[in-house]
Amino acid sequence: MKFQSKAVHSGDRKRTGAPIGVTTPIHLSSSYIYDDIADLDRVFGKELAGPSYSRYGNPTTGALEELVADLEGGAGALACSTGMTALQVALNVALMDRRRVVLAARLLYGATLGMLTKLVEPSGVEIVWADFDDPADVEAAIAEHRPGAILMETIANPLLRVPALDSIAALARAAEIPLIVDNTFATPMMVRPLEHGASFVVHSLTKYLSGHGDVLGGIIITNAEFLGPLRDYSRILGPILGPFESYLAMRGTKTFPLRFERQCSNAVRLAAWLAAQPAVQRVYFPGDPAHPDAANIARLFPEGLYGAMVAFEVRDAAREDIFRIMNNLRMVVPATSLGDVHTMVLYPAMASHRDLAPRHRARLGIHDNLLRLSVGIESVEDICADLAQALA
């Protein structure tokens, strides 16, 4: 099936011999029984597929996992309670029986930076930072530090840099190092990192896949090599997503291709409009022909799909000016998230990258006049009009 058809049909309508619903129901049971206890024994022993205890897996959650694994081209998936939980689980599984050294991109989501510095590093894992916009720097760091895992984002938050995923994945494969890629901003509609050689792909389900601002969740998609260890880890700790959230996430994912195509189209027009505004100093958008990673973007992404995130700097704006602009918005939602049907604006210095020291943010290029837009599905004329009156 084509990508759009997979989004609608994958995971649903499991044949059981009995009448089945058109959509996957919400399975609330914490445990399951079988006509023959020998079958339950085989399920516990992983000789027979089926549910036994919901920490090990839930039919609703399993359907969501099958759906997203199909979209990403993975051997399987694990849905987790949050995107950050998914990232932490992927990192822990990747580091099993490997050197406790992580090579990470310098430019990452603020909570990911916090996880690495405040949780992972104090637990005895060495964190090595590299400029992932320079594959030579990554290659040198691999040779010097021999990391046990590599962590990056397909499109870096919030400055929207696009590293050479294919080149970095080739370096990771050559060194036999698991590569973990946060693909939330790009989505599998733009790029599927497993096809380039990544070992794990992580999404915040809260964002584009669910798409309606009503689900908190994350998901890990992996290849055949790591699916068993990932499942074993999950059976012990039980980080899985609940059935209600799984149902909502699956329902949202069915319309994800339609929503994302519209969001990407709106983002192209909005970025061009922002670039022409006197109040805007600089626009960050992967669709900009002058983007510093234009060659990577042309090679990795389908033509015309550049994502639906746009960042921009307001000319000569201080913190109080940014607050005034956000307070003046009438339709665009000033809230902490992205990927929803409605357009949202976030102030990285206040929210996503708040915990970074101001000097650290400045070194990364995240200035105090930077705003990040997640473009929704509204009329782009209405989005521009609202931003125009707020910026005035």
Mean pLDDT of 149-159: 97
Average pLDDT of every residue of the chain? 95
In a shared domain, residues 290 and 365: yes
In a shared domain, residues 241 and 271: no
In a shared domain, residues 208 and 264: no
Per-residue model confidence as pLDDT tens digits over 179-195: 999 999 999 999 999 99
Q: pLDDT-based confidence at 23, cuts 50/70/90?
A: confident
pLDDT > 70: what percent of the chain?
98
Question: Which pTM value belongs to this model?
Answer: 0.95
In a shared domain, residues 118 and 82: yes
In a shared domain, residues 235 and 265: no
Instruction: Check residue 19 and give its pLDDT.
Output: 65
In a shared domain, residues 125 and 85: yes
Instruction: Check residue 163 and give its pLDDT.
Output: 98
Spatial strand order in the sheet of 76-80: 76-80, 218-222, 200-204, 179-182, 149-153, 101-105, 126-130
Residue 6: count other Cβ atoms within 10 Å of its Cβ.
18
**Residue 152 to residue 13: CA distance in whole angstroms:** 35
Give the catalytic positions in this structure.
55, 109, 182, 207
In a shared domain, residues 22 and 64: yes
Mean pLDDT of 7-12: 89
Instruction: Check residue 71 and give its pLDDT.
Output: 98
Instruction: Check residue 355 and give its pLDDT.
Output: 83
Instruction: Check residue 351 and give its pLDDT.
Output: 83
Instruction: Check residue 18 and give its pLDDT.
Output: 60
| CA 389 to chain CA mean position, Å | 32
Mean pLDDT of 328-352: 95
pLDDT > 90: what percent of the chain?
85
Q: pLDDT-based confidence at 17, cuts 50/70/90?
A: low
> Which domain-ending residue is among 197, 223, 254?
254
Mean pLDDT of 234-258: 96
- 33-42, 193-202, 252-261: which has the minimum mean pLDDT? 33-42
CATH number at residue 368: 3.90.1150.10
In a shared domain, residues 43 and 131: yes
**Residue 149 to residue 129: CA distance in whole angstroms:** 12
Q: DSSP strand E in the chain: where? A: 76-80, 101-105, 126-130, 149-153, 179-182, 200-204, 218-222, 280-284, 309-314, 344-346, 370-374
> Which domain-ending residue is among 190, 225, 254?
254
- Burial string for 64-88 (b: 16+ CB within 10 Å, else e) reads bbbbbbbbbebebbbbbbbbbbbbb
Per-residue model confidence as pLDDT tens digits over 287-317: 999 999 999 999 999 999 999 999 999 999 9
Range of the domain at 41: 3-254
| CA 133 to chain CA mean position, Å | 19
Q: What is the chain's length?
A: 392
In a shared domain, residues 94 and 195: yes
Q: pLDDT-based confidence at 16, cuts 50/70/90?
A: low
In a shared domain, residues 97 and 208: yes
- Which residues, other chains included, contact 57 with Cβ-Cβ below 8 Å and sequence gap of 6+? 51, 240
CATH number at residue 55: 3.40.640.10
In a shared domain, residues 126 and 200: yes
More confident residue, 348 or 356: 348
In a shared domain, residues 169 and 298: no
Residue 309: count other Cβ atoms within 10 Å of its Cβ.
26
SS3 298: helix
Spatial strand order in the sheet of 280-284: 280-284, 309-314, 370-374, 344-346
* Whether the predicted pLDDT of 107 surpasses 90: yes
Q: CA 64, 66, 72, 77 torsion: positive or negative?
A: positive
> Which domain-ending residue is among 254, 274, 300?
254
Q: Would you call the peptide bond into 158 cis, given omega within 30 degrees of 0 as the criterion?
A: yes
**Residue 390 to residue 392: CA distance in whole angstroms:** 6
Instruction: Check residue 15 and give its pLDDT.
Output: 62
- 49-63, 154-168, 251-265: which has the minimum mean pLDDT? 49-63
- 1-10, 18-27, 128-137, 364-373: which has the minimum mean pLDDT? 18-27
Number of structural domains found in the chain:
2
Instruction: Check residue 79 and give its pLDDT.
Output: 98
Residue with tokens 């849905």: 79
- Which residues, other chains included, contact 195 with Cβ-Cβ below 8 Å and sequence gap of 6+? 73
